[in-house]
Amino acid sequence: MIDKIIKFAFEEDIQDGDHTSLSCVPENALGKAKLLVKEDGIIAGIELAERIFNYYDSELKITKFINDGDKIKVGDIAFEIEGKSQSILATERIALNFMQRMSAIATQTRKIVDLIDHTDAKLLDTRKTTPGIRAIEKWAVKIGGGHNHRFGLYDMIMIKDNHIDYSGGIEPAILKANEYISEKNLDIKIEIEVRDEKELNEVLAIGKVDRIMLDNFTPEEIKAVLPKIPSHIETEASGGITKDNIKGYAETGINFISSGALTHSVKSMDLSLKAVYTK
């Protein structure tokens, strides 16, 4: 999927040619450029950038000075890229666009992970990602120390409020999901969202799920209901969770905390690729 994303990025950006570089820069000119860090945080996307450079021109040489997941500060140089000047110019914006977004996501993720690192709770991303580049954004979450929730609609059954309403209730939704897995011979888990203790009690009376999402529960409400959930059923908190209150949620004993904010509301990190010389 990463290679497909890279291929489409070039199709989108170059099409029949980078006419500016082709017209201004000699075909055989060689150059070097360095990736400059202009903002503190966590770097992400260096491995992806290398794949982008090599996809376009296998003779481009990258020298890395830091690695994905490392802390960075203003003035750091992440890597140098050397080779045909036309190739560097054709690839720089695609590499930068991905790295800036990935680094922002990794930085945001690390900040939140650090807040709950003293607990056993795992921070999860969601499907609230940019269409077409989900693999890139979820990769950045992992670089930042978070964990990936389901990748898409195909690798988990996640029964939410609309599914319950359309199914006619919690019980038919759970039973139909289990029947479907059996009929299709699928090896996937079932998660169900509950909005209050009444719905939780309905789910527990039926069982047959792998994880329960406690949606918009307060930390106090979670503490009150966790003892009644069997240990073989995973628990997840979601909704209304911010950097200011996530510590309280993590300290309840919940297994997972999911946050769409890891991917849907970040500001790209300031990075630039600066030419060093040409010859």
Sign, CA dihedral 162-164-167-169, equals negative
Count of Cβ atoms closer than 10 Å to residue 253 Cβ: 14
Phi/psi-derived region of residue 178, left when phi > 0, alpha when psi is between -120 and 50, beta in every other case: alpha
Residue 41, strand partner residues: 72
Distance in angstroms (rounded) separating the CA atoms of residues 183 and 13: 45
The first and second tokens of residue 274, run together, are: 């600066």
Three-class DSSP category at 57: coil
With beta carbons less than 8 A apart as the criterion, state whether 99 and 48 touch.
Answer: yes
Count of Cβ atoms closer than 10 Å to residue 234 Cβ: 17
- CA distances for 112 relative to 89, 116, 128, 236, angstroms: 36, 7, 17, 16
> Looking at the annotation, which residues are catalytic?
93, 128, 160, 193, 215
Distance in angstroms (rounded) separating the CA atoms of residues 11 and 19: 14
57 contacts: CB under 8 Å, gap ≥ 6: 83, 84, 87, 91
